[in-house]
């Protein structure tokens, strides 16, 4: 993963936060959506960028799409966290301002 997500997730409008059930989108699933749907890479290019096989990429991407669809249809919050990923950088979210900080150290 080149960079962390800008946000920690999303939640539906019109539903009190106390009534919103979260659903988890793994970091690698987020990355698959970013590479194909946002950056416009082919699945083959995205798989290469993520350093996984094309079939593995397809499984990750399909799981991400199903998770997002489930959140939209069922009115669930999407929490982006966890999974199996590698980054050359160290990154964390500031507890005070929620800004993502990326460093090489």
For residue 43, the SS3 value is helix
Instruction: Tell me the C-alpha distance between 80 and 65, whole Å.
Output: 13
Look up the CATH architecture of domain 9-103.
Answer: Orthogonal Bundle (1.10)
pLDDT digits (tens, 9 = 90+) for 15-74: 887 888 899 999 999 999 999 999 999 999 999 999 999 999 999 999 999 999 999 999
- What global pTM score does this model have? 0.76
**How far does the chain reach from its first CA to its final CA, in angstroms?**
16
Dump the DSSP string for 20-33.
PPEEEE-HHHHHHH
């Amino acid at each position: 993963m080149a960079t962390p997500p800008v946000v920690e997730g999303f939640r539906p409008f019109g539903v009190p936060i106390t009534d919103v059930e979260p659903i988890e989108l793994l970091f690698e699933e987020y990355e698959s959506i970013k590479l194909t749907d946002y950056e416009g890479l082919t699945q083959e290019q995205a798989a290469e960028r993520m350093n996984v096989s094309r079939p593995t990429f397809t499984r990750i991407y399909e799981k991400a799409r199903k998770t997002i669809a489930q959140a939209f249809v069922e009115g669930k919050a999407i929490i982006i966290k966890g999974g199996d990923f590698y980054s050359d950088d160290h990154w964390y979210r500031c507890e005070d301002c929620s800004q993502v900080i990326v460093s090489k150290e």
